[in-house]
Structure 1
Amino acid sequence: MKSPIELRHILHQNPEIGFNEFETTKILEEQIIKLSKYYNVNIEILKPLDTGLTIKYDPINIEEYVLFRADIDALPIQEKNDIDYKSKNYNMHACGHDVHMSILYGFMKYVFENKIRKNILFLFQPAEEGGGGAKKILDTGIFEQFNITRAHALHVTDEYDKGIIATSKGVLFASAIEIDIEFFGKNAHIAFPQDGKNALNAMRIFLDSIDKIPQNPVKPLIFGIGKTISGEVRNVIPSYAKIEGSIRSLNLEYSMEYIEILKNILESIKKMTGVDYKITLGSMYKEVINDEKTYNYFIEKLKNDYIIIDCGYKMTGEDFGFIAEKYPSVMFWLGTKVDKKVGLHSPNFLPDDDVIDIGINIFSKIL
């Protein structure tokens, strides 16, 4: 049976991307079974998807449950940290999910060891990083058999000093939509542009146009573009171009209205240039809304032991929003910064091991 820190190191060495967390799930299941046998507690392991798992712990004969969630997937980033437990492959827990899993495992150990008389669901959720794992789990109907009265999750970050809690009433994290826009033109030699339809130019006109869309100061929205593709050789007009980006706002419906504006712009460009287009939407995450009553309970339980910052909303996307939409919930940041900030999704992101005990203690107090 591994300690939470030992488990963290094993998980950190074996990171897997969304819906491919087979070894991660196996490691978790093996250690959780050992934990339950050691403390002689009855649990049920539920696996509605191929990866991830939910642990049902119900020592009392009532139907009410509290849900605690940790995400388990990693990112396709090559780690740059020089540590003994460095990733063994080309993926990395650059968003701290190894810490999240170890906190939830350590919290489970606390519950088992102290024979806590509360019904709890421990959710180790796959595919948070773009796969929408939370919604897929909810769509299986696995939680319909439980009366879940509240749900909690945390996310580590080096935006705040170690041990600081940052959260907010209402919207904490933005809605997020992955969006790809493709442009379809016609090849031609650059010496004969009249024979072609320049997809790159159409994309350029589009990029210039979206910068001119008026911003609503009371409805913040970000259309971030991380990747563009176009062209094959230097002397041929590109027949294809592609934009890969993400739209963030405080309301998913508002983001969908913005996409309609983008369609109108693309239609105008099509009429002007003859270049066709296609919009493809990927994962869509609801905004994370912290329930007022649950938030007040959360603050009351922790205010004497922790520094709690009201951080307002963040444009970060998080698929816990689907859980928060269904059940009264509170999610929060847990600070990890010691000296300098490198940021989430950095190849150098590495919270200290002692953050795990802080997270376990916070979960224990709000239980």
Structure 2
Amino acid sequence: MTDATDTVVTQQLPGAEHWQQLYRYLHEHPELSGAEHETARLVAEELRALPGWEVTERVGGTGVVGVLSNGPGPVIWLRADMDALPVQELTQLEYASRTPGVMHACGHDVHVTALLGTCADLTANPVPGTVVALFQPAEETGAGAQGMIDDGLLDRFPHPRIVLGQHVSPAPAGLVTTKSGPLMAASDSVRVTFNGLGGHASQPQTAVDPLLMAASYVVKLQHLAARQTATANSPVLTAGALHAGTRPNIIADTSEVLLSLRTFSAGVRKRMMAGIERMAQAEAAALGAPQDPKVEFFDPFPVTVNTPGDTERVMATLTAAHLPVMPMSNPITGSEDFGLFGTAAGCPSVFWHIGGIDPAGFTPEDQAHMLEEGALPHDRPSNHSPYFAPDPAVALPTAITTMVTAARSELTRD
């Protein structure tokens, strides 16, 4: 990897100012999963303004698909996700979200703008073959890719030879990180509801406290990942929320724990899910709950797997184009539904992460950490943080250049 200060893509892209303005608009107007109506409308409008693109809206809900056919040649799919998160933005940017409690905290606004910029480049400088641009809704809930597939994506549009996708990260702009094989974890959300017996806080002996069950349960769950399912790529289990009660002097009837489970193999996933249920049952029994707890698993994501061989070829192409590529030694515990497209189509898929932060903010120590540990520094806002703020001046040139380079290479490959 070259020095971080050398990784900014300085190429002047056609329509650069337009993409900056478009990004700011999208960032100011985020929309939650499945409700990306204005984003989808804008995407369709932008695509229709480009000569040669056939545009289909409402694919899998709010999804948009654009097709550019330039005669015989390969068919490639390029994907960007569109949804935002239920996060209150705290960046204080002049173009911060105008929608209370909703924010593009994962950088999907970068993805949408970059894919539109890629489409514009491929229109202005055509290559034989067919490009299918997928603007996907509801990635954050894990429902969007499957929703588009279930809506006849493979029957309605040209079948791909390969699917390409990318995701912005809090790394120096210009840097590309990925690996062959398992890249990102499978994910399951879990809701555990404990049933107790409400009462007065002054007489806890007359009640069965579900809040106490939930609190004890959350602490004990850490043993499940650390001691009972340790593997080379260990699972991650995080408690994201605990809800119970309404007043200091009232013992509640029920409590709810929300968990996020990340795994890299079907066997470990099965053991973790069984352990989550077993420990909930044991906690309820230990405190004398009047009813068994209810354990629900929802919003599943599959493991994201980069196809060996194809991944190395795409990364070699980016390296030859003087884009710094940092191979990852370990998969990421974050999750994506991108891989469902390649699986459904029975074709290779390659996904990578691109830096979106001004390299001037990275010290030599940061760079050493990235090289030695294959990981990003921990002292800066990351995806899903209310402070996460890719710098569009460097993130968009990085994202557009990377996707254009990969797409052109795959279209011209024998």
Cα distance 1:203–1:77, how it changes in 2: closer, same or farther (>3 A)? Answer: closer
1:128 partner SS:
coil
Deviation of 1:51 after TM superposition, in Å, equals: 0.9
Query: Are 1:344 and 2:356 an aligned pair?
Result: no
Distance in 2 of aligned mates of 1:201 and 1:240: 10
| Among candidates 251, 268, 271, match of residue 254 of structure 1 | 268
Residue 43 (structure 2) aligns with: 28
Of 332, 335, 346, which aligns to 1:317? 335
Shift of 1:138: 1.6
1:118-153 alpha-carbon deviations (Å, 9 max, x no partner) = 211100111111242112212222124532111111
Aligned to 1:308: 325
CA distance in 1, matches of 2:245, 2:352: 44
**Within-5 A mapping of 1:212-223:** 212-213=223-224, 214=227, 215-223=229-237
Aligned length: 361
TM-score, normalized by length of structure 2?
0.82
Distance 1:83 1:76, change over 3 A: same
User: Does the CA contact (< 8 Å) of 1:18 and 1:131 recur in 2?
Assistant: no
2:168 maps to a residue whose letter is V
Does the 8 A contact of 1:285 with 1:322 survive in 2?
A: no
Residue 274 of structure 1: aligned partner: 288
The answer on whether the counterparts of 2:115 and 2:400 sit within 8 Å (CA) in structure 1 is: yes
What does residue 182 of structure 1 align with?
A: 193
Equivalent residue, structure 2, for 1:201: 212
CA distance in 1, matches of 2:254, 2:193: 7
1:147 corresponds in structure 2 to 159
Residues 78 and 206 of structure 1: CA distance in aligned 2, closer, same or farther (over 3 Å): closer
Task: Identify which range, 131-140 or 238-247, moves more after superposition.
Answer: 131-140
Cα 1:82–1:189 change in 2 (3 A) is closer
Matches within 5 A, 1:289-308: 289-304=305-320, 305-308=322-325
Query: Equivalent residues in 2 for 1:1-367 (5 A)?
Result: 3-36=18-51, 41-61=52-72, 64-90=74-100, 91-145=102-156, 146-158=158-170, 160-213=171-224, 214=227, 215-275=229-289, 276-304=292-320, 305-311=322-328, 312-326=330-344, 327-338=347-358, 339=361, 341-353=380-392, 354-367=394-407
Maintained 8 Å contact 1:74/1:97:
yes
1:192 to partner: Cα distance: 4.0
Q: Tell me how far apart the structure 1 counterparts of residues 117 and 185 of structure 2 sit (CA, whole Å).
A: 29
Shift of 1:77: 2.2
Q: Percent identity among equivalent residues? A: 24
Deviations 1:39-63 (A, max 9, x none): xx2424253233120112222246x
Tell me, yes or no, if the aligned pair for 1:19 and 1:131 is still in contact at 8 Å.
Answer: no
CA–CA distance in 1 between the matches of 2:203 and 2:21? 65
Cα RMSD (Å): 2.1
Does the Cα contact within 8 Å between 1:225 and 1:244 map onto a contact in 2?
yes
Question: What residue number does 2:10 align with?
Answer: none
- Structure 1 unpaired stretches of 5+: none
Q: Which runs of 4+ in 1 moved over 4 A?
A: none
Kept after mapping to 2: 8 A contact 1:252/1:287: no
- C-alpha separation between the residues in 2 aligned to 1:209 and 1:105? 47
The SS at the match of 1:148 is coil
Is the Cα–Cα contact under 8 Å of residues 32 and 86 in structure 2 kept in the other structure?
A: yes
Question: Could you tell me how far apart the structure 2 residues matched to 1:42 and 1:173 are?
Answer: 32
Q: What is the alpha-carbon distance in structure 2 between the residues aligned to residue 65 and residue 89 of structure 1?
A: 38
Which of the two has greater strand per residue? 1
Q: Provide the rounded CA distance (Å) in 2 between the counterparts of 1:83 and 1:233.
A: 37
Runs (5+) with no aligned partner, structure 2: 1-14, 363-379, 408-414
Q: Give, as a single letter, the amino acid of the residue that structure 2 aligns with 1:167.
A: T
Listed one character per residue, the Cα deviations across residues 271-301 of structure 1 (whole Å, up to 9, x for unaligned) are 3333221112221000111000210211221
Q: Which amino acid aligns with 2:278?
A: N
Secondary structure of the residue that 1:30 maps to in structure 2? Answer: helix
- Alpha-carbon distance in structure 2 between the residues aligned to 1:238 and 1:79: 32
